[in-house]
Amino acid sequence: MASLVVHAVLLRQAAERGAAEVAAHRVAGPVEAMAAASVQERLRLAHVLSAPDLTLSWDSAPVLPSERTRAAPDLAHVGRLAEHTQEIRTAPGVPDAEHGALRDVAVSVRLTDGSWVNARVLAVSLIAADDAAFRVAVGAVAVALLLCVALASRAAAAPLTRLARAVRHLPPDGDAPLPPAGGPQEVREVAEALDGALRRVRDLLRQRSMALGALSHDLMSPLARLKLRADELSDPALRHTVLRDVAEMEGMVGDVLAFLRGADGGGEPAVPVSIADLVQVVVDEFGETGAAVEERRLDEATVLARPVALKRVVRNLVENAVKYGAGPWIEVLTDRSGVEVRVGDRGPGVPPEDLARAFEPFFRGDRARASGGGSGLGLPTARAIAEAHEGTLKLHSAQGQGTVAVLKLPLSPPSSEVAPARLPSQPGPQ
């Protein structure tokens, strides 16, 4: 586009310069004659030397269209104008594209005595210049350059795209290295840096897993001994209180360990799981404890998940609905985008200020604090597990209308066969 604009400007300037020079040639002879004549003869000579397409006049000032006037000292070389003139001014003509000409080209020449010879040329024909070939050539060059740039950009970006895809699908808890990136030196350096960072993250995860295992053993063993000793207490009320506190401590320790374990699932493998069956197991477990959960629509859907971790999410959501709401219900809905597990209640709802902080670790709302128990890690752990399954977990609540938790997960590929994943029953929160 810049080339075409520059070409058009230069072509117009060349046309104007050529028309001015043609007009200067036309006026050179009359100017020489009028310069040699007496003052009394100049008006007559101007009338005599005029032609149908050339109008001459002699005056004390230049007669030119002010909006198009410009100095033209370079035209002094035309004919013998330099011998008879002190100044030359021109007014480029008005383009007439239909006839290929510039109309009303004006030239004013100042004679040595200070008077002016004014000339107007009706039209100056232009040499036909078909610039279609030039435009085609510029367009072809532009297309070729764009293709070259596109190919070069694709060649440079392809290794980076492959690297991003490999990083996105590489599990942090595995041992597979990043594939060779190739491409420019900068991309190879980025790949090497990412591979080093990945190795360090894996080392940290292994160390954390080992520390969690040791912590679990160190904490659970004393709690188990406390249980045994509590059973030997003779006072039933005291025994019940101690066992309740120990159970609460076990639940808190389990919540903390699950939160620290985060998205790795403790090494649990991912298998195809029927969401409807998992929900049914959770509902049956709560029914055994006397907590009735309404089952609404349960669509059949299969997801690739870690069964125990996913059950922890569903159980946590149902437990919150049972504990803090009224009339808990659950449903499973599927569409092309995935499967939704919706758990709700008809309770008082969550205040807006609490809803905004519901997924913060260790945060508990007023009702949770008032009821006692809980560690404030259930929802953060549930969200971490959901995100590890490439899903989302959101809360919707309205004052006086209840709360709805929406767990959305991607569907398993159609080629996956549903294995009867074991969903162990557990008496406590998972």
Give the pLDDT band of residue 383 (cuts 50, 70, 90). confident
How is 251-284 classified by DSSP, letter by letter? HHHHHHHHHHHGGGGGGPPPEEEEHHHHHHHHHH
* Boundary of a domain, candidates 100, 125, 150: 125
User: In this structure, is residue 69 part of a structural domain?
Assistant: yes
Binning the chain into helix, strand and coil, the percentages to the nearest 5 are: 55, 20, 30
Statement: residue 375 has pLDDT above 80: no
* Amino acid identity for residue 179 in this structure: P
In single-letter form, the type of residue at position 365 comes to G
- Whether 188 is covered by a domain: the verdict is no
In a domain, 104, yes or no: yes
Instruction: Evaluate whether residue 170 is within a structural domain.
Output: no
Structural contact between residues 65 and 74, judged by C-beta atoms closer than 8 angstroms: no
* Greatest mean pLDDT among 237-251, 367-381, 386-400: 386-400
Contacts of 246 (CB under 8 A, 6+ apart): 223, 226, 227, 230
Nearest residue to 172 (alpha-carbon basis) of 205, 140, 148, 145: 205
Q: Rounded to whole angstroms, how far apart are CA atoms 76 and 389?
A: 86
Tokens of 290: 């006397």
* Type of residue numbered 220: M
Within 10 A of 416 (CB to CB), how many other CB atoms are there? 13
Give the integer Cα–Cα distance in Å for 68 and 20.
12
Report the pLDDT value the prediction gives residue 428, as an integer from 0 to 100.
42
Of the candidates 387, 174, 203, 384, the one whose C-alpha atom is nearest the C-alpha of residue 269 is 174
Phi-psi region for residue 290, left (φ > 0), alpha (ψ -120 to 50) or beta? left
| Higher per-residue confidence, 76 vs 150 | 150
CATH number of the domain that residue 348 is part of:
3.30.565.10
Q: What is the CB neighbour count within 10 angstroms for residue 348? A: 17
CA 324 – CA 400 distance, rounded (Å): 13
User: Using CA of residue 11, residue 13, residue 16, residue 19, what is the dihedral sign?
Assistant: negative
pLDDT in tens, 321-343: 888 888 899 999 998 889 999 99
Cα–Cα distance, 34 to 53 (Å, whole number): 19
Q: What is the pLDDT of residue 145?
A: 92
**Span 71-86, pLDDT tens digits:** 777 777 777 777 778 7
Q: Which amino acid is at 109?
A: V
Q: Which residue, 206, 205, 202, 319, is CA-closest to 255?
A: 319
The pLDDT-based confidence of 419 (bands split at 50, 70, 90) is very low
Given a cut of 70, whether residue 236 has pLDDT beyond it is yes
**Is 416 a residue whose pLDDT tops 50?**
no
Q: Is residue 59 part of a domain?
A: yes
Which residue among 107, 125, 143 closes a domain?
Answer: 125
| Parent domain of 392 | 268-409
pLDDT exceeds 80 at position 169: no
Last-in-domain residue among 125, 140, 175: 125
In a domain? residue 402:
yes
121 three-class SS: strand
214 inside domain: no
How crowded is the C-beta side of 248, counted as CA atoms within 13 Å? 11
Q: Does any domain span residue 422?
A: no
CA distance 60 to 81: 18
Q: Which of 115, 150, 141, 91 minimizes the C-alpha distance to 34?
A: 115
Q: How far is CA 169 from CA 174, 183, 209, 211, 417, in A?
A: 11, 20, 22, 27, 22
Please tell me the distance from the alpha carbon of residue 307 to that of residue 3, in angstroms, as a whole number.
Answer: 65
Based on the structure, what is the number of domains in the chain?
2
Closest alpha carbon to 260 in 199, 303, 219, 223: 219
313-to-98, 142, 190 alpha-carbon distances in Å: 80, 57, 37
Q: Is the pLDDT of residue 154 over 50?
A: yes
- DSSP, collapsed to helix, strand or coil, labels residue 334 as strand
What is the Cα–Cα distance from 277 to 301, expressed in whole angstroms? Answer: 9
What are the tens digits of pLDDT across the range 103-147?
Answer: 888 888 888 888 888 888 888 876 655 567 777 888 889 899 999
Q: Are 287 and 293 in contact (CB under 8 A)?
A: yes
Residue 69 makes CB contacts below 8 A (sequence gap 6+) with: 62, 89, 90, 91
For the entire predicted model, the pTM comes to 0.48
Segment 278-296, tens digit of pLDDT: 999 999 999 888 889 999 9
CB 84 within 8 A of CB 35: yes
21-25, 43-47, 123-127, 192-196: the lowest-pLDDT one: 123-127
